[in-house]
Amino acid sequence: MATVNDNYLKLKAGYLFPEIARRVNAFAEANPEAQIIRLGIGDVTEPLPEACRSAMIKAVEEMGDRASFKGYGPEQGYAWLREKIAAHDFQARGCDVDASEIFISDGSKCDCGNILDIFGDDNSIAVTDPVYPVYVDTNVMAGHTGEVNDRGEYAGLTYLPITADNNFTAAIPSQRVDLIYLCFPNNPTGATATKEHLKAWVDYAQANGSIIFFDAAYEAFITDPSLPHSIYEIEGARDCAIEFRSFSKNAGFTGTRCAFTVVPKTLTAKAKDGSEVQLWSLWNRRQSTKFNGVSYIVQRGAEAVYSEAGQAQTKALIDFYMENARIIREQLTAAGIQVYGGTNAPYVWVKTPNGLSSWEFFDKLLHTVHVVGTPGAGFGAAGEGYFRISAFNSRENVNEAMRRITEKFKL
């Protein structure tokens, strides 16, 4: 009989968001009259920017004409999109990133998992706690961990606690690790990193020959001009960091699918024979073999983000969600609930009131006020006692959810 990848059997019951959906669906089925407001998964709700839609419609028309029809595109993405990204997102901020170092993909969730294909199985790995579960689960699937304990921690991973005491930014570890996942603005806590904090990580990575996986999917939500948007704003990062970016949250592409990963050509890691190997070549080889690129139509839509109209429209979208975040923060604070994040990120990290555990608070909100959030414990043991509220929703739903929560939980 064929065998399975036993590593999958080590995974905790279900991926967090499907588990939440399961509980919400069961509640909805039993209570069909309940008007449920979903502030759980960070999925956008507002329509795609007009500039992106028009570009995609035009691209569809081109596909209908033999002269402009496109078949397979470059696996790395079209040069015109990569060049715009390099110029706007990196060079304009003084980052030394070339278009050829940008790989267009269908999502940073996929890239964060797929990147492990080009790394050895013997690397030591550090993640923060709480953490975006994809970083952990993909390492479990790849066989990089042992079993899970009853705190939900996998043997073999180094967990770096992020708490209110350290402003939800991990202390630099005292031991050596090979791979480090950092996410700023942070999912789930909404925390941000200063240039000094990132510089400390880059120094650590350079001193230890480590690679930082820098997830910057939420960089567009940074409002404080002193905060870095890219790890490449830090000197030396080209030699120790891979950065993941996405059009999902800034331009509403969660259903449209377009993202990109930056692998600098100067970045290397060691082969078993001790030689240094360029990671860019391996990722290029991986993508060329396992991926056929994002559709021409979607890439044209992403390119439109960088047009004048696209820039104005995506800014309006971001401002809209950040106004939701402000409402959530202010309403909960006024009700006596302690909140973090939500000023440079679309997530508000809430201390659960009355000493409730995060799943207890989840169930209570769902059952009493019909509002869905994400239990902090789902992001790791140190997330216990916290709850994530996403600002991705209509203004009407956010206002209504806050009204219901604050009426019920006023302290």
Q: Which residue ranges are tagged as binding site?
A: 15, 42, 72, 108-109, 132, 187, 218, 246-248, 257, 292, 388
d(CA 322, CA 80): 30
Question: What distance in Å separates the CA atoms of residue 110 and residue 171, rounded to the nearest whole number?
Answer: 27
Report in angstroms how near the CB of residue 282 gets to ligand MLT at its nearest: 24
Contact between 411 and 332 (Cβ < 8 Å): no
Minimal distance, residue 149 CB to ligand MLT, in Å = 23
Are 268 and 50 in contact by the 8 Å Cβ rule? The answer is no
Q: Is the CB of 107 or the CB of 228 nearer to ligand MLT?
A: 107
Residue pair 180/205 in contact by the 8 Å Cβ criterion: yes
Helix (H) or strand (E) holding 270: strand 268-270
Please identify, among the stretches 41-49, 121-129, 174-182, 365-373, the one whose residues bind ligand MLT according to the rule CB under 6 A: 41-49
The Cα-based distances of 128 to 12, 123, 159, 335, 383 in angstroms read 18, 17, 5, 30, 10
- Beta-strand pair 374-375/371-372: unpaired
CB neighbours of residue 399 within 10 Å? 16
Residues 74-133 that bind ligand MLT (CB under 6 A): 109
Query: Is there binding between residue 295 and ligand MLT (CB under 6 A)?
Result: no
Q: How near is the Cβ of 311 to ligand MLT at its closest, in Å?
A: 22
Q: Smallest gap, in angstroms, from Cβ of residue 61 to ligand MLT?
A: 31
* Contact flag: residue 383 with ligand MLT (CB under 6 A): no
**Contacts of residue 110, Cβ cutoff 8 Å, sequence gap at least 6:** 259
Closer residue to ligand MLT in complex, CB, 86/115: 115
Under rule CB under 6 A, residue 393 binds ligand MLT: no
Ordered DSSP codes for 173-235: PSS--SEEEEESS-TTT-----HHHHHHHHHHHHHHT-EEEEE-TTGGG---TTS-SSGGGST
Binding mask 170-209 for ligand MLT (x = CB under 6 A): -----------------x----------------------
Q: Select from 26-34, 39-47, 59-67, 285-293 the region that touches ligand MLT (CB under 6 A).
A: 39-47
**Residue 152 lies near ligand MLT (rule: CB under 6 A):** no
3-state SS class at 401: helix
Count of residues in contact with ligand MLT, rule CB under 6 A: 5
Task: State whether the Cα torsion 264-292-44-22 is positive or negative.
Answer: negative
Interaction between residue 42 and ligand MLT (CB under 6 A): yes
Binding flag, residue 341, ligand MLT (CB under 6 A): no
Least Cβ distance, residue 108 to ligand MLT (angstroms): 7
41 near ligand MLT, judged by CB under 6 A: yes
* Closest CB to ligand MLT: residue number: 42
Residue 42 CB, nearest distance to ligand MLT (Å)? 3
Minimal distance, residue 373 CB to ligand MLT, in Å = 10
Distance separating alpha carbons of residues 163 and 49, to the nearest angstrom:
36
Residue position matching structure tokens 């419609």: 57
**Where along the sequence are the contacts to ligand MLT (CB under 6 A)?**
41-43, 109, 187
